[in-house]
Amino acid sequence: MEGPVCLIENTRFGGLQVNQEALDILSSIRQPVVVVSIVGMYRTGKSYLMNRLAGKRSGFSLGSTIQSETKGIWMWCVPHPRKNDHTLVLLDTEGLGDVEKGDEKNDTWIFALAVLLSSTLVYNSMRTIDNQALMSLHYVTQLTEHIKVKAYKEGDDSSEFIRFFPSFVWTVRDFTLDLEMNGKKITADEYLENSLKLRKGEAPQVAESNAPRNFIRMFFTARKCFVFDQPAKKRNLNKLETLSDAELDADFVKQGSEFCNYIYNDSKEKTIAGRVSVTGSMLGNLAAAYVEAIRSGSVPCLENAVLALSKIENSTAVEQSHALYRQLLGQRVKLHTETQEELSRVHEGCLREALEFFMKRSFKDENQVYQTQLMEFIEKEYDGKCSENAVQSQTHCTALLQQLWSKLHHESFMRPGGYTVYRIQMDSLIQTYKFTPGKGIKAEHALKDFISSKEDTCKKILLADKALTEQQRRLKEEQLRADRERYEAQLAKGELKIMTQKTVDLNQALKENARQLQKKFEEERKAMTEENNRVIEQRLKEQKALLEEGFQEKAMMMMQEIKEIASEAAMMQRENYMMMVLMDMRLMKINERLQDRDNCIIL
Taking only the tens place, the pLDDT of each residue in 159-190 is 677 778 899 999 998 888 888 888 899 999 99
**Among 320, 312, 262, residue whose Cα is nearest residue 287:** 312
Cβ proximity of 147 and 162 under 8 Å = no
Element (H, E) at 73: strand 73-79
pLDDT of residue 575: 65
pLDDT of residue 504: 73
65 part of a folded domain: yes
Taking every pair of Cα atoms in the chain, the longest distance, rounded to a whole number of angstroms, is 128
339 part of a folded domain: no
pLDDT of residue 523: 75
pLDDT of residue 419: 80
548 part of a folded domain: no
Structure confidence at residue 601 as a pLDDT band (50, 70, 90)? very low
pLDDT greater than 80 at residue 501:
no
238 part of a folded domain: yes
Query: CATH no. for residue 29?
Result: 3.40.50.300
585 part of a folded domain: no
Cβ proximity of 124 and 38 under 8 Å = yes
Cα gap 364→285, rounded to integer Å = 16
pLDDT digit string, tens, across residues 197-220: 888 877 888 888 888 888 888 888
Q: How far is CA 350 from the centre of its chain?
A: 19
Of all residues in the chain, what percent carry a pLDDT higher than 90? 26
Q: Name the residue with higher pLDDT: 233 or 320.
A: 320
282 part of a folded domain: yes
* Number of domains into which the chain is organized: 1
pLDDT of residue 357: 92
Residue 83: which domain range? Answer: 5-300
192 part of a folded domain: yes
247 part of a folded domain: yes
Task: Give the 3-state DSSP-derived string for 337-361, with helices as H, strands as E and coil as C.
Answer: CCCHHHHHHHHHHHHHHHHHHHHHH
What's the pTM value of the predicted model, to 2 decimals?
A: 0.76
pLDDT digit string, tens, across residues 400-445: 999 999 988 887 787 787 888 888 898 899 899 999 999 998 888 8
